[in-house]
Amino acid sequence: MALKRSVILSLVLGVSALSAGDYDAMMAAIKKAWPQVNTLAVVCDANGSKAALTSLTGAAGGFKLMVVDVKGPQDMGKAIGALTGRKPDAVILIAGDHVVGDGSSAAKFLIERMAAVKVPTAVTTEAGVKQGAILGMGPGTGGKLLSNAKVAAVVGIGVPAGATSL
Q: Backbone phi, then psi, for 98, in 5-degree steps? A: -75, -15
Other CB atoms within 10 Å distance of the CB of residue 150: 13
pLDDT of residue 12: 30
pLDDT of residue 158: 86
Would you call 73 helix, strand, or coil by DSSP?
helix
Per-residue pLDDT of the chain (166 residues; tens, 9 = 90+): 444 433 333 333 223 333 346 899 999 999 999 999 999 999 999 999 999 999 999 999 999 999 999 999 999 999 999 999 999 999 999 999 999 998 899 999 999 999 999 999 999 999 999 999 999 998 889 889 999 999 999 999 988 889 999 9
Rounded distance, CA 8 to CA 40, Å?
10
Rounded distance, CA 118 to CA 39, Å?
14
**Domain boundaries along the sequence of the chain:** 2-158
pLDDT of residue 161: 87
Other CB atoms within 10 Å distance of the CB of residue 85: 7
pLDDT of residue 64: 96
Rounded distance, CA 103 to CA 18, Å?
28
pLDDT of residue 146: 96
CATH architecture of 2-158: 3-Layer(aba) Sandwich (3.40)
Q: Exposed (0-12), middle (13-18) or buried (19+): which is 90, by Cβ within 10 Å? A: buried
Contacts of 5 (CB under 8 A, 6+ apart): 46, 69
